[in-house]
Amino acid sequence: MSGPEKPKVIGEEWSDERVKGFLFLSPFDARINPDYHVLIKAYQAMRAGDFERFIGFFTEAGRDLNALNGDGETILDEVSRHGRSQEYAAALIAAGAKKSAEAGA
């Protein structure tokens, strides 16, 4: 939280433990794919370099990089729609992520 009690910190270095912590997030709706959930939360919260590290931890844990959301889309589908997300998309592609059309969804 930002505010007078705790000022917003920009450019803060994230430890491996903090990055790995996203692996343990759970969706509060059981219909949401847990792998997609942690990928989108990591994408929304992390800088590109931290996200790339997270993807390494994610795949090492045997998680599904091509998990689908409720609309049948992968994280690469989502990230590719954002104009300033080239570094995120590159990290995903390097790790083997595919768009839903490529993944056979």
pTM of the predicted model, to two decimals? 0.84
Judge whether residue 91 has pLDDT over 60: yes
Task: Spell out the domain ranges in the chain.
Answer: 30-103
Asked whether residue 4 carries a pLDDT value surpassing 60, the answer given is no
Q: Which pLDDT band holds residue 10 (cuts at 50, 70, 90)?
A: low
Q: Of the candidates 61, 81, 73, which has an alpha carbon nearest to the alpha carbon of residue 99?
A: 73
What pLDDT is recorded for position 22? Answer: 93
Tens of pLDDT, residues 28-68: 888 899 999 999 999 999 999 999 999 999 999 999 999 99
**Angle at CA of residue 86, ends 98 and 33, nearest 5°:** 40
